[in-house]
Amino acid sequence: MKIYYEKDVDAQVLADKTIAVIGYGSQGMAQSRNMADSGLNVVVGLREGGSSWQAAHDDGMKVMTIEDASKVADIIHILIPDEIQSAVFEQSIKPYLEEGNTLSFSHGYNIHFGYIKVPGNVNVTMIAPKGPGAMVRKTYLEGFGIPGLVAVEQDFTGNARDMALAMGKGCGLARAGILETTFQEETETDLFGEQAVLCGGVTELIKAGFKTLVDAGYQPEVAYFETCHELKLIVDLIYEKGFAGMWHDVSNTAEFGGLSRRSRIITSETQEEMARILKEIQEGKFAREWALENQAGNPMLKRMRDIESELQIEKKGSKLRKLCGLEK
C-alpha cells in the first residue's frame, strides 16, 4: 500500500497549468476553492445561467462555460453527476481536447464502465477525497484535510501521477494522506459500499428496526430515537475509535447484547447477498441498469423516492429533528 503525504508531492508540476473544474456542486465547490486558495490556477466550467453560475462568481471563482473552460485548460477535472458526464464530455469537452491534456475525475465510474472513451494522447487520472465536499472544505480551512485516493488510468505525458498528486495536495488531501488505487478498485468498492452498507444497507436496517418496535406497540417517537437518532452517536464512536473503542464507551449491557446478537441480523445469507451485489457491480449489470433508468427518465428512482417520503419513520423523524434543532 502506497500513501503519499505533502512531503512526497511536487506542487511545481502544476505551476504553468490551468485546471478547469467542471461542476460546482458539493465536490466542485470544495475542490475548486481549495485548489485556488492553494495558489493553483483554477477556472470553473458551468452551464451559463445555471443555478451554480452566480454562486461560483460570488465565491470569487473565475467562471466560464464548459466549452470555454475546456479550451483554456490543461487539466479538465470533471465533477458533475455520473449520469450526465458522458453527454457533457461528448458535447462540450471532447471537441476541445488537445494532445497532452489531462482528464481528471473524483470517481472512476464512467471511465471504468466505458461510458466515456478518451483518445490515447491524453492523461486520465483520479483524485478522490474520501468524504463529502463540505468536509473537504471545512478541514482545509482548519489547516488539515481528509484522506484521498489517487489513480492513473492512462499516462500519456509520463507525469500524470505527479499532476494528480499535486491536485490532491492543493485540495488538502495530502495533509491526511493520499492512498494509491486503480479506477477499477475505486469504482467497484465505492458502489458496493453505497449499496450494501452506507446508503442501502444502513437505511434498510433502520427501517426494519423501527418497524419491529412500532409493530410491537411501542411509540414511533421512541422507536425513532432508538433505531435512527442514536445511530450517529455510535457511528461517530466507531469513526473516532474503531470497534474496540466503541465497545469500550458503551455500557457492558450494550456490548454483550450487541456482540452476542449481531450475527443473527447480518447472517451468512446476508453476506451471500452482498457477494451477489458485488458481482453485479463487477460484471457491469448495475451500470447497465442505471444507464437504462436514466434513458427512461428515472421512473423507478422517482417512484422509490415517493415511497421513501411516505414512510412513517420519515414523517416522525422530521418532527423529532425539529425538536432537536436539526431541522427548521
Q: Determine whether the annotation assigns residue 25 to a binding site.
A: yes
Q: Determine whether the annotation assigns residue 6 to a binding site.
A: no
Residue 45 and residue 69 in contact, taking contact as beta carbons nearer than 8 Å:
yes
Helix (H) / strand (E) element for 19: namely strand 18-22
In terms of phi and psi (left: phi > 0; alpha: psi -120 to 50; beta: otherwise), the region of 321 is: alpha
Q: Determine whether the annotation assigns residue 38 to a binding site.
A: no
Q: Determine whether the annotation assigns residue 318 to a binding site.
A: no
Task: Calculate the CA dihedral of residues 226, 229, 234, 235 and round it to 10 degrees.
Answer: 140
Amino acid at 201: G
Q: Determine whether the annotation assigns residue 273 to a binding site.
A: no
Q: Determine whether the annotation assigns residue 201 to a binding site.
A: no
Q: Determine whether the annotation assigns residue 308 to a binding site.
A: no
- Longest Cα separation, the chain: 67
Q: Determine whether the annotation assigns residue 283 to a binding site.
A: no
224: cell is 425513532
208: cell is 426494519
Q: Which of 57, 77, 107, 248 is catalytic?
A: 107
Q: Determine whether the annotation assigns residue 52 to a binding site.
A: yes
Q: Determine whether the annotation assigns residue 260 to a binding site.
A: no
Whether 77 is catalytic: no
Amino acid at 186: E
What is the full DSSP assignment across 58-89?
HTT-EEEEHHHHHHH-SEEEE-S-HHHHHHHI
Binding site as annotated, residues: 24-27, 47, 52, 133, 190, 194, 226, 230, 251
Binding site as annotated, residues for NADP(+): 24-27, 47, 52, 133
Binding site as annotated, residues for substrate: 251
Binding site as annotated, residues for Mg(2+): 190, 194, 226, 230
Hey, which residues are catalytic here?
107
